[in-house]
Amino acid sequence: MAMPPTLVRTTYLEITDPARIVPASRCPEHAMLLRAVLPSPELNRFLYSAVGGDWYWRDRLLWSWADWMACLDRPGYETWYATARGTPAAFFELDATKPPSVEIAIFGVLPAFQSLGFGGWLLESALRRGFDLGRRVWLHTCTLDHPAALANYWARGLTSFREEESTVALPSEPPGPWPGALREPIGVRQPAR
């Protein structure tokens, strides 16, 4: 069931000097950042749906395995993911296929790991890696994204360079990672021994 058309504001942000990156206040406990060197549509689709399921990330859900592989298996395209005690917690994809600009194509934190410091730390990591690959790092976000996304981008030193508004038809609820998914913050549970 669709809702009436929704007004969506898209904000484009950039940073052109690595010296302007504002460091995150902390690294999350037990965090590790890894690069998925081998393209893996299954991994990226899992991360995309797990992070974006609550925020109407729908575009890539329609992609076939071949579509995912065509995106991921390009020179200059990278996937990085953070773990907490070995569990995937957050990720970003960098698109450096149009130098000297590098796009943070996807960025997000899985719901159970939000508010634990992953957003700022991971964004700082994405920006620093972006400057390893190019001279300008940019991304876009919109009002359908996590409410803290834009503030995190500004806090790390990105500045807005364009805004657009459009209307989109959305289903009455975001897709979620799967129907009926029940989540609780990781921090409230003790890991099994």
Domains and CATH numbers, the chain: 6-171 (3.40.630.30)
Say what the pLDDT of residue 184 is.
62
Say what the pLDDT of residue 76 is.
97
The answer to whether the peptide bond before residue 100 is cis (omega within 30 degrees of 0) is yes
Beta strand segments in 41-86, E: 77-84
| CA-wise closest residue to 49 among 58, 41, 40 | 58
Rounded to two decimals, the pTM is: 0.89
Q: Which residues are paired to 91 by β-bridges?
A: 81, 108
Amino acid at 123: L
Angle between helices 41-52 and 65-72 (to 10 degrees): 100
Q: Which residues are paired to 32 by β-bridges?
A: 83
Quick one: average pLDDT of 18-47? 96
Q: Which residues are paired to 101 by β-bridges?
A: 98, 136
pLDDT top residue among 144 and 94: 94
CA angle 182/184/188 to nearest 5° reads 155
| CA-wise closest residue to 58 among 175, 141, 172 | 175
Candidate from 12-21, 144-153, 173-182 with smallest mean pLDDT: 173-182
User: How far is Cα of residue 136 from the mean position of the Cα atoms in its chain?
Assistant: 18
pLDDT digits (tens, 9 = 90+) for 111-154: 989 999 999 999 999 999 999 999 999 999 999 899 999 999 99
User: Above 60 in pLDDT, residue 2?
Assistant: no
Candidate from 55-59, 61-65, 99-103, 176-180 with smallest mean pLDDT: 176-180
Say what the pLDDT of residue 169 is.
82
